[in-house]
Structure 1
Amino acid sequence: MTIKDLQIGETATIIEVGGSGALRQHFLDMGLIQGTEVTVVKYAPMGDPVELRIHGYELTIRLEDAGKIQVGAAHKEEITVKRPIEKMDIPHPGLGEGGKFHSKADENPLPDDVMLTFALVGNQNCGKTTLFNQLTGSNQHVGNFPGVTVDRKDGMIKGYENTCITDLPGIYSMSPYSSEEIVTREFLLQDKPKGIINIVDATNMERNLYLTMQLMELNIPMVVALNMMDEMRENGGSVLVNEMEAFLGVPVIPISAAKGEGIEELVSHAIHVAKYQEPPEEVDFCCADGAGEESAVHRCIHAIMHLIEDHAKKSGIPVRFAASKLAENDHLVLDKLNLSQNEKETLEHINLQMEEESGMDRSAAIASMRFAYIQRACEQTVIRPHESKERARSRRIDKVLTGKYTGIPAFVAIMGLVFWLTFNVIGAFLQSLLEQGVAVLTGMADQGLTALKVNGVLHSLIIDGIFTGVGSVLSFLPIIVTLFFFLSMLEDSGYMARVAFIMDKLLRKIGLSGRSIVPMLIGFGCTV
């Protein structure tokens, strides 16, 4: 039995994750690991893809991929009542603050002429681009569609001239599955920024902290920015910042990128850890005395670290990060380390021993270890919020916009309304105004040139060539602007992501993904 055999609302426990290569690793990084409960939330109107709930967040995969994940018998979803967190008066760890970990006598800051370079890293749709705008003041596009940041963008942090922050593509892990993940990983490993600002969605900690753990393994000074804390507080939730900072071993700053809250504190901590090169204090996430599988992972990773330590140093790859990736069968890292044949065979024996002791394959065991660490962190530091009114309202609207029988009619109706307003009402009205304005200017210019008795050839060039020719092209501008205005509203509202969910099956028949619907719709503005 596989996930695609489950009905809406049914829950089952994952027994085995099939597939191979980067796609299977992507499944594991998203939380689809052995022993985890998964619930089917809904199917797209065309029956594909399917939306799942796992680890407390929603995940969408295609039916073909769902058919590769074996599950047990369907049962009712277990509602776990989280025990109240015993809040202890833990003093603020003070990570990333002056006078905490070095005195004036032994501190060794970077020279003042060294540029402090930062990488802004986070999951998609966690407010990363909004934070980039707050930090740099740049007017960058802020959207609600996954993958909006497709290029590298740089900017100077406001008030700090000798700084440069790079907005990297939104990713979910450091595994080389997508081009965005490869770009981000190569930048961090090769360009070696002086610091990392990791933005985390505080309302979805389980999903976001997976990337945080991998970034900490790079041993680059970093700060964690807990975004959307205002939304967290409004809905009765909270994050015990002192406890989380002590647990992770890096500065943790609560912020609201949209409202500009906490930005100054975030910048001061980021500048400090980069200036004094204070790396994360915690990079060993597996317990030596934990459960059987976790202690097996611990021994495996540390054995690999001893095996490759000299190669990692020569290659410039952090040894802990390299060891974790080799345990996951990451061939890109393996190729860079240039191990001998004996070392490769030893590495394989270490991984086989870990698989035997843990009862899981190597990639699944590493992912399971990370999610176990995340679960411990959230249990000790996160007070979960109740469902917000906005989310409840969005869920009710989604029943119509992505419903089996209403999703496609709603899409046709919405796009029909957009095109009608663009080509027949607003766009047509603005086009008429512009044409009238161009006609008035053309008439005035014609009269002026006639009064001045300008040469007939030059007169014709100016009136017929410039005013009439350029004016006819400009007349299309109101329609294009109007269409783009409506499409941007749909994107900011989150509807375009839902359209991609609805249209994925249809577009895959012509070799495209559901996300291709966005440039296709934008293309209508270029065909007027």
Structure 2
Amino acid sequence: MNDMITMDQLRPEQSAYIRAIGGSGALRHHLLDMGLTPKTEVTLRKIAPMGDPIQIELRGYELTLRLDEAKKIEVEDIHQKAQPKSPSESYRPIAHPGVGELGTDGDYHVHERGDAIAKGQPLTFALAGNQNCGKTTLFNQLTGAKQHVGNFPGVTVDRKDGTIRHYPEATVTDLPGIYSLSPYSSEEIVTRDFLMKTRPSGIINIVDASNIERNLYLTMQLMELGIPMVLALNMMDEVRANGGSVRINELEQTLGIPVVPISAVKNEGIDELIDHAVHVARHRESPARIDFCAESDMPGDQVGAVHRAIHSTVHLIEPYAKAANLPVRFSATKVIENDPLIGKALALPPEAQTALEQIVRVMEADSALDREAALANMRFTFIENVCAKTVVK
């Protein structure tokens, strides 16, 4: 066992396991949201010519960190990571179901529904995704020249709105590029406020197919809002060119939302994406899945600890969330993370606040992780399991 050091001291191609995440507040939460949770294996791949930043690999994707961020991450058990074997299986893509068609197991589009929105009635969509995932290109493909730019109220963050092609009754708002719905930047707050206060008819979530492990973290939080949603899997042409693929049908059955492969740059799959988005919005088909803790493979009792905490919190805060017009599941995960804005909006009475803190203490003791790390680890473990089954490198 090597002496404990910080991540900035690793040498290229050295691997280690994260021991602890230092810092506090927004910075620490940001690091956890990037997948840097305790016990995660990381490998240093590159160091910039001037020594800052560094590029690391973890959980199947690459991440760039500034040195001052890397210095806050304690690591242990330095080793040389074994090179993964090339996959020997070949994957033959199968047909992707059209709108309203059944998938291979017969349960495509099993969602909670409300009263359908009649054809011709106004529809509103939010376009959400990570930075550098092709969101601006997709927005332009969705709207063409029918768009205008302004600002969100009270901030200098750009707001772009447009009319979706072929559907004059449907408008889409291009939200800022973010990596999570944590309230630690103006872009994150603007996005979250728009989604929770405006409650659009649907969400179009664009995901970079070549970096799917990183992008799905935001997807999971969007799904917890309970808004009808479709996932646009962008840059599939690049994935195929590199010999990879994604099992689209299996991915959408696992997530419980339609998944449409697209190439925004080449205008491929855009019409199918629009049709799916309009379909789920008109029929008010909310995501079939918002529970991500039951099928994880976390060591020990981490799954059970997080699962029990979330579901206990849902029951505890449900009347307060409904009174505040907040999505219950999303509010439960956020209040466990000690999200200040959600906590303020819920306005829990003292006895409920005491019960919540007891739930969190039990979860931290059983999982051996603090409240923020436990939730981040739950989400990323689910993502790793999903990608292991559906992503062919």
- Decide: shared fold, TM above 0.5: yes
Identify the residue that residue 339 of structure 2 maps to in structure 1.
330
What secondary structure, in the 3-state scheme, does the structure 1 residue paired with 2:158 have?
Answer: coil
Aligned partner of residue 280 in structure 2, secondary structure: helix
TM-score in terms of structure 2 length: 0.89
Partner-residue secondary structure (3-state), 1:74: strand
Structure 2: gaps spanning 5 or more residues: 149-155
Letter of the structure 2 residue corresponding to residue 314 of structure 1? A
Find the aligned partners of 1:213 and 1:82 in 2 and give their Cα distance.
29
Instruction: Evaluate the alpha carbon distance shift between residue 263 and residue 37 of structure 1 in structure 2; reply closer, same or farther with a 3 A threshold.
Output: same
1:263 aligns with 2:270: yes
Which residue in 2 is equivalent to 1:77? 81
8-17 or 354-363, larger mean C-alpha shift:
8-17
Say yes or no: does 1:53 pair with 2:51.
Answer: no
Q: Which residue of the partner structure matches residue 125 of structure 2?
A: 118
Deviations 1:181-237 (A, max 9, x none): 111111101111010000011111100111111110000000001101111111111
Identify the residue that residue 13 of structure 2 maps to in structure 1.
Answer: 9
Match of residue 40 from structure 1 = 44
Distance 1:95 1:238 in 2: 22
Where does the alignment leave 5 or more consecutive residues of structure 1 unmatched?
142-148, 385-528
**Structure 1 residue 155 corresponds to structure 2 residue 159:** no
> What one-letter code is carried by the residue in structure 2 that aligns with 1:152?
R
**1:319 aligned residue:** 328
Q: Does 1:109 align with 2:113?
A: no
Alignment partners' CA distance in 1, 2:157 and 2:63:
21
**Residue 275 (str. 1) matches residue 282 (str. 2):** yes
Aligned equivalents of 1:96, 1:252: Cα separation in 2? 13
Q: How far off its partner does 1:58 sit?
A: 2.3
Task: Give the match for residue 493 of structure 1.
Answer: none
Residue 198 of structure 2: aligned partner: 191
Q: CA deviation at 1:86?
A: 9.4
Note if contact 1:227-1:256 (Cα within 8 Å) is conserved in structure 2: yes
Aligned length: 374
Contact 1:288 1:299 in 2 (8 A): no
Q: Aligned partners of 1:245, 1:41: CA distance in 2, in Å?
A: 32
% identical aligned pairs: 56
2: CA distance, partners of 1:132 / 1:253: 16
User: What are the Cα deviations for residues 90-129 of structure 1, in whole angstroms up to 9, with x where unaligned?
Assistant: 9967675699769xxx983114464100000011111111
4+ aligned runs moved over 4 Å, structure 1? 82-102, 288-291
Distance 1:317 1:78, change over 3 A: farther
Q: State the one-letter code of the partner of 1:178.
A: S
CA distance in 2, matches of 1:293, 1:83: 30
Who wins on radius of gyration, i.e. which is larger?
Answer: 1
> In the alignment, what sits opposite 1:236?
243
> 1:366 aligns to what?
375
One-letter amino acid matched to 1:47: G
Change (3 A) 1:130 1:85: same
Where 1:152 maps in the other structure, the secondary structure is strand
Mapped contact 1:85–1:379 kept (Cα < 8 A) = no
Q: 1:180 to 1:82 in 2, by over 3 A?
A: farther
Contact map agreement 1:123 1:208 (CA 8 A) in 2: yes
1:95–1:319: structure 2 CA closer, same or farther, 3 Å change rule? farther
1:87-486 to 2 correspondences below 5 Å:
108-112=115-119, 114-138=121-145, 150-287=157-294, 291=298, 292-384=301-393
Residues 151 and 169, structure 1, Cα contact 8 Å, conserved in 2 = yes
**Larger helix proportion, structure 1 or 2?**
1
C-alpha distance in structure 1 between counterparts of 2:53 and 2:90, whole Å:
41
Distance 1:289 1:152, change over 3 A: closer
